[in-house]
Chain A
Amino acid sequence: MSTDATPLLEARNLTRRFGGYAAVSAMNLRIERGTIHALIGPNGAGKTTMFNLITGVLPPSEGQILIDGVDVSGSRPDRIARRGVVRTFQGVRLFPTMTALENVEVGRFCRTRGGFLAALARIPGVATGTEAATRKRAEELLERVGLSKQRDMLAGELALADQRRLEIARALAADPKLLLLDEPVAGMNPVEVHEAGALFQALCREGTTILITEHHMSLVMAISDRITVMNYGRKIAEGSPDQVKRDPEVLTAYLGTEAAA
């Protein structure tokens, strides 16, 4: 099924209505492997709804979502995560009373095995091979996002920027093929934004494809290979950062008609 010609993720005619209001309508989207793809648009354009549709949090009203050419429309979020599409949230959703390390360890859930019986069969107090491996991987990921020192702090006590980093580490723990980042640098200072951008580019080089929504335009323009612009639930433009920047419809959507004229 999946050849290099098949996009990693494809949305076909994707539509989501809430009552009579279409938050997303007839969206087509192709995300190619090894790219950073940005989804931008004014507030309320339907970006987060797109994320919810892609990750199975909301079922689509119409249309299909294909991961590696396999139709996953209407699948449960955990199935989609197993297929390698994992997200972060705009508002950051960690497990606040668990430590940073535990948060990342939970992220390994869908890549490890062992239910209740495996838990009961352990020698009390001794970590099994899988558990040791889970911990090691979680420690590596914390190191990767720069949170090694905070590993035993409760997630809810971390600073906002650190919470965002932790959420990314947790998502990475699930070995995503496609990482969806919903406004990952909101509330970060310029230095932190720069670091985050470098991290996203490094992850992409290592083979994780990224779909990002973000209002921080200079970051989006700097790191994206391709940009899709949405407004009122529809795609209004798509292309490289340079193409999008010059698109008259995009300028209208962002700045109003006066400026575009």
Chain B
Amino acid sequence: MLDPYTESVLIFTGINIVLALGLYLPVSAGLLSLGQGGFMAIGAYTAAYLTTELQWPFVVALLCGGAMAGLVGLVVGLPSLRIKGVYLVIMTLGFGEIVRVFFLNFEPTGAASGLGGIPTNTTLPVVAIAVVLTLLVCFQIRGSRIGRAIEAVREDELAAEVIGINLTYVKVAVFGLGAAIAGIGGGLYAHYATFIDPAQFGFQRSAEIFIMVVLGGMGNFAGAALGAIVVTILPELLRLGNVQEWRMTVFGALLVAIMIVRPWGLLGVRR
């Protein structure tokens, strides 16, 4: 058996892969989001409330968390039709903060004191299945009719539209699907952490997910997954040295170095 430390690192790696793929989907259509922490929170709170307060089965609760985040994602995706690039980043950042503050004040899920006593349902096999299924979703979309349309929208919206691609459908759907996956990631996280409070899903979390995708390479789901692995495991590997207090500084410096050497990401395509 794995020792608890290794197991916990692997579980976090798996959850982060799911979260990174949840951001990869909108990014593959050119929609940058710094609000994935918000979708994660919605999924985490929904799933945790269902299992803890209503004793729903874990898998059902997890999927409901994903569905809830996905529905909110559809609504948040609508403005992405008009708001582009860095402005969309700011809008999603604002959304993430709104969600955080909402849960900070929402009494049924414990408000500022958080929600505890969540059953530990997220085991390594559960995470592994979630990772495989999420990778499969990305793999299946890529190279399909809809996958090519998503790519086309990223490359040139106007050209995509005049050859008959419905921008509204593609953008909103891909944003919603990404949000749903982030929600499932949140549900997995809640059932491993066993205690959640709004601070865990703030800007820091959204930025971390964003870094994974950028680091791995934005045009490629394998890149996003690799980015998640690097961002999760690298700080842990740095524990091995005797520079504990400089660990995160070294980690930050390594990220900078990677982006200088490969600005298009570890597995990205050079443009």
Contact = CB atoms under 8 A, between A and B. Distances in A.
Bound pair (A, B): yes
Contact-size category for B: 20 to 34
The 3 closest A-B pairs by CB, nearest first: A110-B164, A81-B164, A119-B144
Interface of A: 55-57, 76-78, 80-82, 86-87, 89, 93-98, 102, 105-116, 118-120, 122, 124, 130-131, 134, 170-171, 173-174
Interface stretch (B121-129, B146-154, B245-253): B146-154
A35 B268 CA distance: 46
A48 to B, nearest CB: 13
B155 A122 contact: no
A94 B162 contact: no
Nearest to B271: A97
Q: Among B144, B147, B271, find the residue whose CB has the most chain A CB atoms closer than 10 A.
A: B144
Contacts of B120: none
Contacts of B151: 95, 98, 102, 106
A112 B269 contact: no
B228 interface: no
Contacts of B165: 78, 106, 109-110
Interface of B: 136-137, 139-141, 144-149, 151-152, 155-156, 158-167, 169, 173, 177, 219, 269, 271
B137 A174 contact: no
Given A112-B145, A114-B145, A93 B159 contact: yes
B145 A118 contact: yes
Given A76-B166, A109-B164, A174-B164, 14 more contacts: A81-B163, A86-B162, A94-B156, A98-B148, A106-B148, A106-B151, A109-B163, A110-B165, A114-B144, A118-B144, A119-B140, A119-B144, A119-B146, A124-B139
Contacts, number: 110
B145 A77 contact: no
Contact of A97 (B141, B161, B219): B219
B68 to A, nearest CB: 18
Given A55-B162, A77-B161, A95-B156, A105 B148 contact: yes
Nearest to B149: A109
Given A93-B156, A122-B140, A124-B140, A57 B162 contact: yes
Contacts of B271: 97
B144 A78 contact: no
B144 A95 contact: no
Given A78-B167, A174-B164, A134 B158 contact: no
Given A93-B156, A95-B155, A97-B219, A115 B164 contact: no
